[in-house]
A = this chain, B = another copy of it.
Amino acid sequence: MQSFSYWIGFAGITAFAVTAVLVLAPKGIDLFSAIVLGIITAVGGGTIRDMILDVPVFWAADLNYLWVAIGASLVTFFAESLFTRREIYQLMLYIDGLGAALFAIQTVDKAWAMDFGRPLAPIILGIVTAIGGGLLRDVLSGRQTLLMTRELYATPVLIGCTLYVALLTWVPEHQAAGALCCVAIIFALRAAAIRWDLTVPQWLITKAKAD
């Protein structure tokens, strides 16, 4: 399982970097900015997590995360037309969702093992890890962050992380199976949101004025 999640992790990093370059390309960015923003999107959330946990940042111990992010950004930059093909783009969105699910549950695991502010803080950190990189990308590139859109991205993460914390609290003997289940739940919810264009329901949104 360890080695399996290690490889899914790289698939997630790849998808984060690829989707970053794809959403920014229409604005006209240069190669260097593409790589920088690809890296920041891919490892930004985990970096904020590690700084809050006060542990060494994960990408310094294993440079493969950076190399993969750089490689994915480079390929996307030069082969943009390939990735904007509808099927490939959709595939990337799904892998991005799988990566977010995996990183969130890994983070809950890490924070829980450190006894870091149980039970609430691990959930918060899981969300930070899943959406932090995307928030940094949007802020640095002047895009509206996903917190201001109705996209269903972070809510599945919240649900999955909360379930996993409940599981760690009450049936810790099923941790491994539970982690897999929670990753699957987050991914299923996110995949459903991508597939059927689900958004946050109207009654859960404040009434915008002058809109």
Contacts and interface: CB of A to CB of B under 8 A. Distances in A.
A113 interface: no
Interface residues of A, number: 56
A111 B117 CA distance: 23
Contact of A117 (B26, B27, B61, B150): B61
Given A27-B148, A124-B39, A117 B208 contact: no
B117 A63 contact: yes
A140 to B, nearest CB: 5
Interface string A57-99: 1011101001100000000010010000000000000000000
A141 B150 contact: no
A34 B148 CA distance: 9
A193 interface: no
Interface stretch (A102-110, A171-179, A180-188, A199-207): A199-207
Interface in A122-152: 124, 127, 135, 139-142, 144-145, 147-148, 150
B204 A31 contact: yes
Interface stretch (A10-18, A46-54, A161-169): A46-54
A28 B66 contact: no
Contacts of A147: 29, 33, 36-37, 140-141
A63 B121 contact: yes
A28 B121 contact: no
A202 to B, nearest CB: 10
A30 interface: yes
Interface of A: 24-34, 36-37, 39, 47, 51-52, 54, 56-57, 59-61, 63, 66-67, 77, 80, 116-117, 120-121, 124, 127, 135, 139-142, 144-145, 147-148, 150, 154-155, 158, 200, 204-211
